[in-house]
Amino acid sequence: MSEKTPEAGSSLWRDAWLRMGKNKAAMASLGVFTLIVFMCFGVAWFCKDPNAVTLTNKFASPSGEHWMGTDALGRDLFSRILYGGQISILVGLIATAVSVCIGVTYGAVSGFAGGRPDALMMRIVDTLLSIPFLVVVIVLQAVLSVWSSDTSSWIVQHWNWDKTFTDRLTNIVPLFFALGLFGWLTLARIVRAQVMSLKEREFVEAARALGYDRFRILFRHIIPNTLGPTVVYATLTVPGFIMYEATLSFLGLGVEAPNSSWGILIKEGANFMETHPALLIIPGIFFSLTLFSLNFLGDGLRDAFDVKASKD
Amino acid sequence: MSYISKKTVKKHLFGILIIFSLGGCGGETAVDQATRDGILIIGNTSEPKGLDPHIVSGVLESNIIGSLFEGLVVQHPSQEGVALPGVAEKWYPSNPDRPDEWIFELRKDAKWSDGEPLTAEDFLFAFRRILTPELASDYAFMLFYIRDAEPFHKSQRAYLIFRNDESFPVKWESLKKVDFGPNEKADKKTFNRKGLDHLTAKELETLQATPSHFNWPESVAVEIRELIVSKSLEFAKSGRDLWELINFGATAPNAHTLKVKLNAPLPFLAEITKHYTWFPVPKHVVLEHGTIGERFTDWTKPANLVGNGAFKLKSWRFNDHIEVERNPNYWDADNVGINGIRYLPISNLFTEDRMFYDGLLHITYTLAPELIEYSRTHYPEFVRNELYLGTYFIRTNVTREPFTDPRVRLAFSMALDQEAIIDNVLQGGQKPAGGLVPPFGGYPTSSAVKFDPVAAQKLLAEAGYPGGKGLPDIEFLTTDKESSKATAEAMQAIWKKHLGANIKIKQMEWTSYITNMFDKNYDLAAGGWIGDYMDPLTFLDMWMKDAGNNRTGWSSETFEKLLAEAGQTSDPQARYALLAKAESLFLNERPILPLYWYTRNYLIHPDVKGWDPLLLDNHPYKFLKLQRDTGAMEN
Amino acid sequence: MFRFILGRLLQGLLVLFALYTITFFLAKAMPGEPFTTEKNVSETTKQYLRKLYGLDKPLPAQYIIYPSKIITDRDFGVSTSKGRPVRDIIAQSFPVSLILGLGAMSFAIGIGIPIGIISAVRKNSWVDWSLMAVAMVGICVPAFTIGPLLQILIAANVPGLKVAGWGNPLDFLLPAFTLGLVSAAYLARLTRGGVLEILSQDFIRTAHAKGLSPTRVILKHGLRGGLLPSVAYLGPAFAAMISGSFIVETIFQVPGMGQHFVNAAISRDEFLLMGVALFFGFLIIMMNLISDILTGILDPRVRIGKAAQ
């Protein structure tokens, strides 16, 4: 394996970092993403109240007062975008991370095992894929909305946390539950296909000949080689989760009004396409920039860790 | 691809572009074609659940039914509260001083679309059908004015058996505490769930043997209980229909006269008969495809449907469109101005508006609030903004703190800046609601509801929550539409500003929203009410204690007494005065917070002539015409 | 192969059964019932309606009656929200969704895969980045934005295309395009990733060394392995296009099946909900089966159905 050749001692991480550094798109993306995260989590606190309604100042153009103008209820758009970004970035990243963990493990085990276990695991995936999602959402909303307000009161009472923050937190939990239940299914299928192909390769035979047990082969040799499509698919699911969160919030299972998220801003903004396009375009730009940068970053990471990348 | 040289493509590209662009201006749109053919194309928001006037209950269905059927009278195309002859040529009360019995003289040439004559028998059949319990009609209550209609529909078997029985030991009114009907809250193991009146013969026998299966209140003596059960059993075993026990108020002295005896004098009965629940249905066709109480029959399929309206059903393509065409057997066919109507079930507001601008329909169902300003500025000639008989209000849950206290309710109502919301959020030209009943001819509209934040703050302090301190978090229930959200957010901000109240908005999809409202699982709930007919009663009788649409927990005996008194008053002015008094009492206690009176905003093509504003939006299609004004070019 | 397919179909029956059970209990767990309307319906009427639809029977009885009616009579029940037999509704809407789905797939494959291949070959060049950016449009701009944009900009101005509707042959173009754009983005990126994986392998170097033209190398050798992730994705993706087209359907007035998934849940229309869920389950089973067979064809080393040693 190339990383073990007797050159000047260089770890995998160092190599990866060096390779990343040469990838212009990836570095630029890292910069953009960091900037956006900084704005949403750092700058936001200094901005205006995103929920302050001023009915007489709707649809204002950008000004010194409101850097990006105001929305349909006179709320500052810039600050709504930043605060909304907190939710969307968190939801996107965490939901993706969870679905990657579950999906990769599940798909790899299924693909590697083959035969009956694979059939069973894949049929479970088929079943879960067919359940009408909205029904689950409605049931979850009915069941968990009570849970979330009760838990919130309990936490505020016993641990003395800030009420608004706790409310928002407990509202998000059912959301993650809903997303987490189904987000990993297609990734599992993709990883499984990769693994089924990989497990027939020579290096696996070699590992077996060396006497490695199955778990070691699976986790240390096969899964790292599935990183490519996994990273690609993972970065693609982030926007999916963000938009899904908007749908769920409208059904009472996510962000509680008047708080916003990028998904909600875009959904509301779309109705003003003909009349006030800025309400759609500006959140859309933030959304798109984040996704683009995540994707190029993902590509860069994948290239960086690709053990077979030629050392040009 | 290699043998088509780049040069050839370039040569023809220009020609292709010309052909494409030629299609643009001067090309005929669907609306152009339809106007020429005399077909009116209407956006009708959604696929109808059916076309049987006795089974459906929605506005969109009534739009279609209104073209296929005609009632005793017809709405005047432009004047509110005026009825023109429909199937009935003349109608009058037998006794003008006490209008509790009405005569309708039907025209002798009335026919069904298949040529069969339309007689009073068809009306009697229709009335009986909608009241038949097995049909399970949502809207049967519209006929409860007719004598004995209600007890028949509710299958009040026990009451009907004994009410004329002179040998019955007690007065029936004393049994009011007993619930003979189904009670969904009752214990599953008892017969109270199903209701005594609905028990089968077998179940009644079981009850006779084991009397404990039914929860009677203590006040009812054992002998009475046994008597009721045994007589009910006798009746159930006899297999007779409850219809035989009643003296139904509607009768037909001859084939062309309909006599309707009411429970109380009703000066505005003609208005009520405009509603499709009072329309006739073809007895011969309905019975050909099923029994009177059968719900899923084929009689409304295009091949079978027979109506008496200006149009008949031409085609019904599920989820695509419904088309009706001229009915040559309609009594006034010569005066029908258009040749047909096509209904498009377009559910997305924006799509509908874009389709209108693309020349695909004549009239839209609505105009998206976000596009109102835009349309008014750029296409004012297409926009209509008309009053609609409905009120948007917020229900308060008077069984939960803090809204148990009327002062809090009044405070929240007075702190609501109606105009700010209407002008800035809704933008549909709605009117701030001065009361519950929207304005219409003759009735003294209330102006009790006003925006007065200072007074609101005082009241709130008086009630024990100065500046909002001590107020619990208030749950505001609303639906998942974007406009509902915006309105709710605006109110949230307004109440926070003026009262210091914390509102938590709970959005959910429609059925969950209705269910939570019905279960009184809310503090405030967005809602509204659209009138079924032109009378204040349609807005007031829903607040009675047992009214199904109340949902607030509020009730008042005085209020109900006033309504009952009005129900017995013949003089229209005196009656209105009583109803206004009831409304005033209601508004003083403010179990609901009225926000605005509805308007309808929609787009209409100038080709459509004769479409005037009507408060109930029940346009008689026969009076319309489609005409292209010369000189106008479409783009 | 035949035994394999048969086995999968039998497993599919088990999946449908599990799906039925889960959906049945979830549907019953939803608050509210089909007869909840805004104008309150009396309890008497509700009881009659429940009886009419068989909803007054105890749950275990309902659980058994529904599938038995399907097996004996092909009767999927009557839709409470539409007043028609569920079977008719599915029969009407499925062909529409099929056309829409196939159109969307064609757009997705026709746009996504070529972009993915070219990007992979020209990795990390401006061509790569700009093509990826174009592909990403499908993800960054959601359907409810693209659809109206197409309506406003294109349909309103091009004579042959209507803003919405499903009567003329060309009507499927805009909705199919909108629906397919998301998948195009996924396919572009998955193909790029997959092809890159293959291209870095030794046998590719060998082919180059042997003197095969680069195009031939890619198309003949690179694609087979490179398409693996895309094929695995396409199975559920196609099925999802059929069930998830709710937004596209409402924007473009397409009478497809997607709207039933949403509306049946909201109206608590259990029979329609169950009907479309089972139908959709069947579709997923078939699509995943096809996807797995294709995987086996693309990579002959993959032995479908054999257990690991």
Q: Which two tokens stand for residue B133?
A: 């319990």
- In the block, residue with structure tokens 């509908």: B352
- Sorted by where each begins, the domain ranges of chain C are 93-308
**What is the rounded average pLDDT of the residues B385-407?**
93
Q: Tell which of C139, C202, C286, C301 to mutate to test the A interface (max A CBs under 10 Å).
A: C139
pLDDT over 70 (residue C61)? yes
For residue A3, what pLDDT is reported? 55
Amino acid letter, C194 = G
Let me know if B453 is exposed, middle or buried by CB neighbors in 10 A (0-12, 13-18, 19+).
Answer: middle
Asked whether B92 and B103 are in contact (CB, 8 A), the reply is: yes
C-alpha span between B619 and B40 (Å, rounded): 13
CA gap B378, B362 in Å, rounded: 18
The pTM of this model reads: 0.89
> What is the residue whose two structure tokens read 């292709």?
B16
pLDDT for C92 equals: 92
Q: Which two tokens stand for residue C16?
A: 């449908």
Q: Tokens 């028990």 label which residue?
A: B199
Name C117's Cβ contacts closer than 8 Å, sequence gap at least 6. C191, C192, C195, C218, C222, C223, C226
- CA-wise closest residue to B615 among B365, B386, B364: B386
Predicted confidence at residue B16, as pLDDT, reads 44
CA distance B434 to chain A (A): 22
Cis peptide before B453 (omega within 30 of 0): no
C8, C13, C15, C248, best to mutate vs chain A, most A CBs in 10 Å: C15
Q: Return the closest-CA partner of residue A303 out of C130, C188, C139, C200.
A: C200
Q: At what angle do helices C126-140 and C86-121 cross, to 10 degrees?
A: 160
From B464, B412, B267, B342, select the one nearest B43 (Cα to Cα). Answer: B342
For the residues C68-97, what does the mean pLDDT come to?
A: 90
Residues 6+ apart with CB under 8 A from C96: C166, C254, C255, C256, C257
Cross-chain residue pair A287–C307, CB shorter than 8 Å: no
Report the pLDDT value the prediction gives residue B27, as an integer from 0 to 100. 65
Structure tokens at C175: 């909705």
pLDDT tens readout for residues C37-53: 767 778 888 888 888 88
Q: Which of C94, B451, C129, B561 is nearest to A26 (CA)?
A: C129
ipTM: 0.88
Q: Which chains sit next to B, with 3 or more Cβ pairs under 8 A?
A: A, C
pLDDT at residue B8, as a whole number: 47
Q: How many residues are given for chain C?
A: 309
Q: Output DSSP code: residue B336.
A: -
Residue A167, pLDDT above cutoff 80: no
Q: Does B505 touch chain A (CB under 8 A)?
A: yes
Average pLDDT over residues A106-134: 88
Bridge partners (DSSP) of residue B529 are B391
Span of A258-272, B162-176, B265-279 with lowest mean pLDDT:
B162-176
State the pLDDT confidence band at C124, using cuts at 50, 70 and 90: confident
CA atoms of B91 and B104, how far apart (whole Å): 4
Q: Which CATH superfamily is domain C93-308 in?
A: MetI-like (1.10.3720.10)
User: Strand B503-508 to strand B474-479: parallel, antiparallel, or no bridges (unpaired)?
Assistant: parallel
Q: How many CA atoms are closer than 13 Å to the CA of B295, on its beta-carbon side?
A: 23
pLDDT at A214: 75
- The residue in chain A having the minimum alpha-carbon distance to the alpha carbon of residue B511 is A138
Say if CB B451 and CB B388 are below 8 A apart.
no
Retrieve residue A165's tokens.
Answer: 């923050």
Per-residue pLDDT at A204: 75
Contact assignment for C253 to B515 by CB distance below 8 Å? no
**Residue contact B23–C160, C-beta within 8 A:** yes
- Where do runs of H (alpha helix) occur along B273-390? 283-289, 349-357, 369-378
Q: Among B177-186, B271-280, B367-376, whose mean pLDDT is lowest?
A: B177-186
Q: Give the CATH number of the domain where residue A33 resides.
A: 1.10.3720.10
pLDDT at B78: 92
The whole-number average pLDDT for the span B440-454 is: 90
- Say which residue, A226 or B294, is predicted with more confidence: B294
Cβ separation A72–B486 shorter than 8 A: yes
**pLDDT at residue A259, rounded to an integer:** 86
A280 lies in a domain?
yes
Phi (first) and psi of residue A261, to 5 degrees? -145, 170
Model confidence band, residue C305 (pLDDT cutoffs 50, 70, 90)? low
Residue C228 pLDDT > 90: no
**How many Å is the maximal CA-CA distance in chain A?**
76
Phi/psi of residue B334, nearest 5 degrees: -65, -25
For residue A167, being part of any structural domain is answered with yes
| Contact state of C268 with B350 under an 8 Å Cβ cutoff | no
Does some domain include residue A70? no
Nearest residue on chain C to B50, judged by CA atoms?
C83
Q: Which of the pair, B162 or B118, is modelled with greater confidence?
A: B118
Q: Which pair of structure tokens corresponds to residue A304?
A: 């960086």
The confidence score (pLDDT) of residue B394 equals 95
Mean pLDDT of chain B: 89
Element (H, E) at B535: none
Alpha-carbon distance of C77 to C285, in angstroms, equals: 23
Report the DSSP beta bridge partners of residue B526: B394
Question: Each residue of B267-292: pLDDT tens digit?
Answer: 889 999 999 999 999 999 999 999 99
Residues of C in contact with B50 (CB under 8 A): 83
pLDDT per residue as tens digits for the range B12-69:
444 344 444 334 444 678 899 999 999 999 999 999 989 999 998 889 999 999 999 9
Neighbour-count burial of A109, counting CB atoms closer than 10 A to its CB (0-12 exposed, 13-18 middle, 19+ buried): buried
Distance CA B369, CA B426 (A): 6
- Sheet with B257-261, strands from edge to edge, namely B88-93, B101-106, B257-261, B250-254
Across the interface, whether the CB atoms of C237 and A134 are under 8 A apart is answered no
Transcribe B39-75 into DSSP letters.
EEEEE-SS--S-S-TTT---HHHHHHHHHH---SEEE
Look up residue A255 and give its amino acid: V
Q: In 3-state terms, what secondary structure has residue B112?
A: coil
Q: Which domain holds residue A111?
A: 23-41+76-305
What's the pLDDT tens digit per position in A30-39? Answer: 899 999 999 9
Structure token digits, residue B513: 């929203």
Q: What's the whole-number mean pLDDT along residues B336-342? A: 95
Annotate B394-463 with DSSP letters as a single string: EEE-TTSTTTTSHHHHHHHHHT--HHHHIIIII-S-PEEPSSSSPP-TTS---------HHHHHHHHHHT
Give the torsion sign (CA, A174, C35, B368, B430). Answer: negative
Dump pLDDT digits (tens) for C251-265: 999 999 999 988 999
- Please give the pLDDT value at position C202: 66
Task: List alpha helices for chain C, DSSP H.
Answer: 2-29, 43-53, 59-73, 86-121, 126-140, 143-150, 173-199, 202-210, 214-216, 223-226, 228-243, 246-252, 258-266, 270-298
Q: For residues C120 and C226, is the Cβ–Cβ distance under 8 A? A: yes
The span from the CA of B294 to the CA of B215, in Å, is 32
Which among B550, B503, B547, B539 has a CA at the least distance from the CA of B524?
Answer: B503
Instruction: Tally the domains of chain A.
Output: 1
Does residue B5 register a pLDDT over 90?
no
Task: Give contacts of C31 with chain B, Cβ < 8 Å.
Answer: 511-512, 515-516
- Residue C274: pLDDT over 90: yes
Nearest CA of chain B to the CA of C179: how many Å?
16
CB contact under 8 A, B350 and A256: no
| Interface list for C 76-105 with B (CB within 8 A) | 78, 81-84, 88-89, 92-93
**Considering only CB atoms, which chain C residues are within 8 Å of B510?**
266
- Residue B419 has, within 13 A of its CA and on its CB side, a CA count of 4
- Which of helix, strand or coil describes residue B597? strand
pLDDT tens for residues B533-571? 989 999 999 999 878 788 899 999 999 999 999 988 888
Q: What is the mean pLDDT of chain C?
A: 85
